[in-house]
Amino acid sequence: MLSLIVFLPAALAAVLVLVPGSASRRLFVGTWIGVSALDVALVVAVWLGLAPGGGFSFEERVPWIPTVGISYHVGVDGLSLPLVALTAVLFLACAVFALRETRRIKAYVTLFLGLQTVCLGLFVALDLILFFLFFDLSIVAMYFLIAGWGHGDKARAAALKFFLYTFLGSLALLLGFILLYLAAEPKTFDIVELIAADPLAGGGTYASLALLAIFVGLAVKTPTVPFHTWLPPAHTEAPATGSAILAGVLLKMGTYGFVRIAMPILPDTWRQYALVAVIVGVVSVVYGALVALAQTDLKRMVAYTSVNHMGYVLLGVGAAGILAGSDEQARQLATTGAVTQMVSHGLITGALFLLTGVLRDRGGTYDMGAYSGLAARTPRFAGAFAVAAFASLGLPGFSGFIAEFQIFTGSLPSAPIPTAISVTGILITAGLFLVALQKLFLGPLKVPDAPGSPRAFADLHASETVSIVPLLALATVVGILPRFLLDVIEPASRVLVELVAR
């Protein structure tokens, strides 16, 4: 079942390569929508069939390079399945949004289908080399999407910076994986076997170097301060769908790596340096919010809020490794909140980036100073943006509140001062989104290049509404009725916390 979910988009991409580029663009996008909808249905079936207890389900294992302990090993648990579901939903939303795309549609759709397979594959991978393969391929696919469908000449420079930064991070990650392999006895890259063996129990210099390499590789992808500088230009120059996937899915590859690899395979060393993760998380929270507040470019502002929100995740997973001053329930709550935050951020920020794409499509710029009074002209757009903004700042009733409440409650016993500092990030985020709402939607009507009599400025089209509103609806459902999600995450979080504390 998992292999079908993962490779179905790539199989379709291979078929579409044989279709002439002169074929109707609706054929390409419609096929993408169809396969993405089928993937969502298959993920729902897996969700309903997930075994209770926090262990892996739907495992598949085939020897790949057995002489060095590499296998095609996939499976899901409560930590990975929510991210698989998020990936399937976001790609479906982007496929619907792409009905408005007109540029080189065949290449655009086949690239996205390949990226869809890569993203799904990473979240089900249970072998370090398989994880690394998908990790690296995501960089390649996103590079071509930014360079080929970005905004002008700066897009190629932004794509190059993105590629070099994240590729360097992936090399550090590979080094960490090799160090784990060399420490294991028998030699293996299998994540499940490495967790059971705990090859670097007791910590030490070797274990510290392995964790450092893995931490740097994942921190670049997340990204955390100071490894975040590739993110704003990549987001600003990427197409709206590229930004939605970059923020909603690719950033989660870094944070997911912490809970799937760093914490359970290196528990002693993670406990030793957990406070470092907490501090990096808090710095990212505050720095990301403050820099976002200073932006006049709407898309850069949303990009910096991703640094802020991923900082909360790192705060939660770091607090889960601090045993002193906390109990198992608090650490489990912090871990559950971190995974919930990954899902919440993907839904909300994915919607926000699609909305920024709508704004640029109508006005040709992300500059907030070029607009005002849009609420009267575009009520559906204004309403959707307001919902997304309030959801992003963690207002009760949305998924962000559920996630951040769990992170703060679980982190406070073991890291009270860092947690208290990180709460200020919510206040700053509230301020920056309220400022954006005021600039864009209140006051007299103003749109770019239209002095005197404003030019036509259309509200959300049907395809835009159908792609954006369900993401916000899901964020609302999680905020009001979170049990369906928490019941999946909590057992796996309990298992992870027990592994870290062993």
**203 burial level (CB within 10 Å; 0-12, 13-18, 19+):** middle
User: pLDDT digit string (tens) for 147-193?
Assistant: 888 877 788 888 888 899 899 999 999 999 999 999 988 899 999 99
Pairing of strands 70-76, 57-65: antiparallel
Residue 456 has pLDDT above 80, yes or no: no
Percentage of the chain beyond pLDDT 70 is 99
Residue 325 has pLDDT above 80, yes or no: no
Instruction: Please tell me the predicted confidence (pLDDT) of residue 124.
Output: 96
Residue 284 has pLDDT above 70, yes or no: yes
Segment 299-317 shows an average pLDDT of 94
Instruction: Please tell me the predicted confidence (pLDDT) of residue 445.
Output: 83
Neighbours of 33 (CB within 10 A): 21
How confident is the prediction for the chain on average, in pLDDT? 91
Segment 413-420 shows an average pLDDT of 92
Token output for 384 = 């959707």
DSSP assignments along 57-118, one per residue: EEEEEEEEEGGGTEEEEEEE-TTTHHHHHHHHHHHHHHHHHGGG--SSHHHHHHHHHHHHHH
Contacts of 233 (CB under 8 A, 6+ apart): 154, 157, 158, 161, 162
HSE at residue 51, side-chain half, CA atoms within 13 A, is 10
The domain spans of the chain are: 2-500
Handedness of CA 316, 319, 320, 321 (dihedral sign): positive
Q: Which residue has the higher pLDDT, 259 or 360?
A: 259
- Determine the residue type at 425: G
Element (H, E) at 272: helix 267-272
Contacts of 474 (CB under 8 A, 6+ apart): 89, 347, 399
Instruction: Please tell me the predicted confidence (pLDDT) of residue 290.
Output: 94
Segment 304-328 shows an average pLDDT of 90
Largest CA distance in the chain: 75
Residue 236 has pLDDT above 70, yes or no: yes
Q: Which residue has the higher pLDDT, 111 or 448?
A: 111
Q: What share of the chain is helix, strand, coil (3-state, %, to 5)?
A: 75, 5, 20
User: pLDDT digit string (tens) for 197-220?
Assistant: 989 888 789 999 999 999 999 999
